[in-house]
Amino acid sequence: MTTLSKSKIKYIHSLALKKIRKEEQVFLAESPKVVEELAAYFPCRFLAATSSWLKANPTISANEIAEVTQDELSRASLLKTPQQVLAIFEQPQYTLDSQVVRHSLCLALDDVQDPGNLGTIIRLADWFGIKDIICSPNTVDVYNPKVIQATMGAIARVKIHYTPLTDFIRSVGNIPVYGTFLNGENIYGQELANNGLIVMGNEGNGISPEIETLVSHRLYIPNYPQGQKTSESLNVAIATAIVCSEFRRQAASK
C-alpha cells in the first residue's frame, strides 16, 4: 500500500490535459461504477480509494494502491463530488479494420465536440451492440475525463478509432453510409441495413460538406406533429439514440 503524495496528486491533475494523457498513454476514471467496470478490462497503474471501498473490492488489481481518506480523495479528484475511488488506467491500443463496416453496424462521428455527447454516444453504442466508433481527428478526445465519466463504463466494450473520415469511407468502397439531414427521407419509411456506417455530425454545423458527398442514404427524424413549429434540431446524442433504435428495431423484425 502506497501513500497519496503531493506529486501523485499533481500527476493526477495533469491528466486533465490531452497532451499528458497522450504522452503517458493513460486515462483517469472516477467513481465506483466506472472504476469497477473498467478494472475488468484495462490494466490499472494506480488506484486511490477509501478503506470501505477497498474492503468491498478485495480482489482489485493495480500496480499501486493508496488507501485514502475522503478529504485526500477530494484533493486529488477532478470531480466536484468525489466518490470513494479514482484510478489511472492504460489506454487500449486498437487496430482499425476498414472491413468492419461490411459485416456490422458502426458509428462515425464528424467533429463531435462536447465530452458529454461523446460519452453518451459511447454508452448508446454499447446498449445497441455497436462495437466500433470511427471518429474524425477533430472529435473530442475519448480519454477526456468528462467523456470517461459519461460513458459509465461502456468504454470497456466499445472500440474508439480516430482517422480522417473521408479517407476511411472511400477506402471501404460500396457500403451503406447513412447520415441525418433536415432534407432527408423519413427514417421510419426507409429500409435500413444491418451493416454499414451511421455518420453523426458536429453539434453546431452537422455533417461537413465533404462527408455529406459520401453519404448514400439521407435520413430525417420527423418531429411530431409534422409541420408544427419546433426546435431547430436535436442534440446529437439524442439523435444518435433515435437512429440506432430504429436500425435495431428493423433488424429484430427481419
In this predicted structure, what is the pLDDT of residue 229? 84
In this predicted structure, what is the pLDDT of residue 226? 80
Give the residue range(s) of CATH 3.40.1280.10 domains in the chain.
Answer: 100-253
In this predicted structure, what is the pLDDT of residue 228? 82
Whether 204 has a pLDDT exceeding 90, the answer reads yes
Give the residue range(s) of CATH 3.30.1330.30 domains in the chain.
Answer: 6-90
Element (H, E) at 66: strand 64-67
In this predicted structure, what is the pLDDT of residue 62? 96
Distance set, CA 11 to CA 26, 85, 88, 146 (Å): 11, 16, 10, 17
In this predicted structure, what is the pLDDT of residue 216? 97
Whether 2 has a pLDDT exceeding 80, the answer reads no
What percentage of residues in the chain have a pLDDT greater than 90?
89
- Digit-coded pLDDT (tens) for 207-249: 999 999 999 999 999 998 887 888 878 999 999 999 999 999 9
Q: What is the arithmetic mean of pLDDT over 86-111?
A: 95
- Digit-coded pLDDT (tens) for 113-171: 999 999 999 999 999 999 999 999 999 999 999 999 999 999 999 999 999 999 999 99
Q: What is the arithmetic mean of pLDDT over 72-94?
A: 95
- Digit-coded pLDDT (tens) for 13-61: 999 999 999 999 999 999 999 999 999 999 999 999 999 999 999 999 9
What does DSSP assign to residue 154? G
77 contacts 86 by C-beta, under 8 angstroms: yes
CATH class of the domain defined by 100-253: alpha beta
In this predicted structure, what is the pLDDT of residue 232? 79
Q: Is 107 helix (H, G, I), strand (E, B) or coil?
A: strand
Residue 179 and residue 186: Cα distance in Å, rounded? Answer: 12
CATH of domain 6-90: 3.30.1330.30
- Digit-coded pLDDT (tens) for 54-70: 999 999 999 999 999 99
